[in-house]
């Protein structure tokens, strides 16, 4: 589906280390100096899902294919980026291309890791990036208002409505607030969709802590959590270096022993990936056959034809019906045939809203 989440933050907060840990298709260079990341690194990340593994145990397919999201490691931002400081314009352009933001914030002390902003201050670091994105959005909205005003004065009804929404956005931004916190209805959001506001994107915060704080957090991560409690955003507490080490281990036994040593039941990365997946409003359905058991990504609220189109556009164009077995029913009866014999295989039409975990087979004709 081409959905992207961008990793952002000030220089030397652990962005590239996090990217290396989550990405299974690309490795970013992690170094202790500014702008180590210039061109954004891109990696496809598997979404961990125990349901996929369980279905594979039952079906025993030739291959197992997890669903994925795209993670982009973007150059570190500095104060003044909205005015072109550092790699400002390039950084902001790269953010504009992603669907959600993973904001990495330094919540640890280490004199060996460079820091240009003085004492460790996660709330201040967050506000630096918020301010730069808000200033860029303000520049965007002011330019658009100038253009739309002419159309509105000429009597264009749609332009008048759009102008009202843009003026709301301008006022909100001038108060130092982000667009995602502005209470707009779906119609108003549609009117400003083509503005691609940076502060309109959903955000997941990663508090990068030291080893001693990876389970409990610390005063820095707590300050961050307090600062974002009204933002409808998740905060993941993790040690990026530990997660990177875990991700590099190929043997499951080695990984299990390492996590046991650090009293971990699962990598924090799994929580991060799941949170990012849900942040984007995504869910999963499955196809299950002897050739492959596969997870497919769709937007929550999509109907059967749209979900069929994720596999191939012809499936959506020629959609007839969908054969559906709920995940729990499939696990209970263990085979498609047994689920059908027990009345758990349903035939659904074009109006069926697909549920997370559905096991599906599409009938189509092109």
At 155, the pLDDT band (50, 70, 90 cuts) reads confident
Q: Please tell me the predicted confidence (pLDDT) of residue 90.
A: 58
Asked whether residue 86 carries a pLDDT value surpassing 50, the answer given is no
Sign of the dihedral defined by the CA atoms of residues 33, 35, 36, 42, in that order: positive
List, in order, residues 6 or more apart from 190 with CB less than 8 Å away.
none
In 3D space, the residue among 356, 363, 218 whose CA is nearest the CA of residue 298 turns out to be 356
* pLDDT tens digits, one per residue of 209-247: 999 999 999 999 999 999 998 887 889 999 999 999 998
What is d(CA 151, CA 93) in angstroms, rounded to the nearest whole number?
27
Asked whether residue 37 carries a pLDDT value surpassing 50, the answer given is no
Reported CATH class of domain 129-199? mainly alpha
- Of 55-59, 148-152, 165-169, the range with the lowest mean pLDDT is 148-152
At 173, the pLDDT band (50, 70, 90 cuts) reads very high
Helices (H), 194-291: 219-227, 240-248, 252-261, 268-279
Domain boundaries, the chain: 4-57+64-116+203-279, 129-199, 301-364
Q: Please tell me the predicted confidence (pLDDT) of residue 25.
A: 43
At 83, the pLDDT band (50, 70, 90 cuts) reads low
- Of 66-80, 159-173, 329-343, the range with the lowest mean pLDDT is 66-80
In 3D space, the residue among 161, 159, 132 whose CA is nearest the CA of residue 148 turns out to be 159
Q: Please tell me the predicted confidence (pLDDT) of residue 28.
A: 40
Half-sphere exposure of 351 (CA within 13 A, CB side): 0
Query: Any known ligand binding at 17?
Result: yes
Query: Any known ligand binding at 324?
Result: no
Q: Please tell me the predicted confidence (pLDDT) of residue 33.
A: 30
Task: Classify domain 4-57+64-116+203-279 at the CATH superfamily level.
Answer: P-loop containing nucleotide triphosphate hydrolases (3.40.50.300)
253 token code pair: 């036994």
Question: How much of the chain is helix, strand and coil, in % rounded to 5?
Answer: 45, 20, 35
Q: Please tell me the predicted confidence (pLDDT) of residue 218.
A: 97
- Which residue is it, tokens 């309109």? 200
What is d(CA 295, CA 357) in angstroms, rounded to the nearest whole number?
9
* pLDDT tens digits, one per residue of 279-317: 889 999 999 999 999 999 999 999 999 999 999 999 999
- Of 1-10, 54-63, 98-107, 181-190, the range with the lowest mean pLDDT is 1-10
CA distances from 83 to 35, 216, 257, 345 (A): 17, 38, 49, 58
Query: Any known ligand binding at 43?
Result: no
CATH number assigned to the domain covering 301-364: 3.10.20.30
State the average pLDDT over residues 129-138. Answer: 90
Please state, rounded to an integer, the average pLDDT across all residues of the chain. 88
Query: Any known ligand binding at 313?
Result: no
What is d(CA 217, CA 214) in angstroms, rounded to the nearest whole number?
6
What is d(CA 11, CA 104) in angstroms, rounded to the nearest whole number?
10
Q: Strand 359-364 and strand 68-73: pairing?
A: unpaired
Query: Any known ligand binding at 216?
Result: no
Q: What is the DSSP letter of 55?
A: H
Q: Please tell me the predicted confidence (pLDDT) of residue 116.
A: 72
Q: Please tell me the predicted confidence (pLDDT) of residue 29.
A: 38
* Strands, sheet with 4-8, edge to edge from the N-terminal-most edge strand: 41-46, 68-73, 4-8, 100-107, 202-209, 235-238
48 token code pair: 């961990």
Highest mean pLDDT among 88-92, 156-160, 259-263: 259-263
Query: Any known ligand binding at 14?
Result: yes
């Amino acid at each position: 589906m081409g959905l992207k989440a961008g990793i952002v933050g000030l220089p030397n907060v652990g962005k590239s280390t996090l990217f290396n840990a989550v990405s299974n298709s690309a490795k970013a260079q992690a170094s202790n100096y500014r702008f180590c990341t210039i061109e954004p690194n891109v990696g496809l990340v598997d979404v961990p899902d125990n349901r996929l593994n369980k279905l594979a145990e039952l079906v025993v397919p030739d291959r197992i294919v997890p669903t994925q999201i795209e993670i982009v490691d973007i150059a570190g931002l500095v104060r003044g980026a909205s005015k072109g400081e550092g790699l400002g314009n390039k950084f902001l352009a790269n953010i504009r291309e992603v669907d959600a933001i993973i904001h990495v914030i330094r919540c640890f002390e280490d004199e060996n890791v460079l820091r240009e902003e003085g004492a460790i201050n996660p709330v201040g670091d967050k506000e630096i990036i918020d301010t730069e994105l808000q200033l860029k959005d303000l520049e965007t909205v002011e330019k658009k208002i100038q253009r739309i005003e002419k159309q509105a004065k000429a009597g264009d009804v749609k332009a008048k409505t759009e102008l009202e929404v843009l003026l709301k956005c301008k006022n909100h931004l001038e108060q130092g607030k982000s667009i995602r916190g502005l209470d707009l209805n779906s119609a108003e959001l549609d009117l400003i969709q083509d503005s691609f506001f940076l502060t309109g994107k959903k955000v997941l915060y990663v508090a990068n802590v030291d080893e001693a704080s990876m389970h409990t957090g610390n005063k820095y991560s707590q300050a961050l959590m307090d600062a974002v409690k009204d933002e409808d955003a998740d905060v993941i507490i993790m040690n990026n270096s530990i997660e990177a080490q875990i991700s590099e281990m190929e043997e499951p036994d080695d990984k299990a022993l390492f996590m046991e040593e650090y009293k971990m039941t699962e990598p924090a990365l799994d929580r991060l990936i799941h949170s990012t997946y849900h942040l984007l409003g995504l869910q999963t359905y499955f196809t299950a056959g002897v050739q492959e058991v596969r997870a497919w990504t769709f937007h929550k609220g999509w109907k059967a034809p749209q979900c069929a189109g994720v596999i191939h556009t012809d499936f959506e164009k020629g959609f007839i019906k969908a054969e559906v077995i709920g995940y729990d029913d499939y696990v209970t009866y263990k085979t498609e045939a047994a689920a059908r014999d027990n009345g758990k295989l349903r035939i659904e039409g074009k109006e069926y809203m697909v549920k997370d975990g559905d096991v599906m087979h599409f009938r189509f004709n092109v």
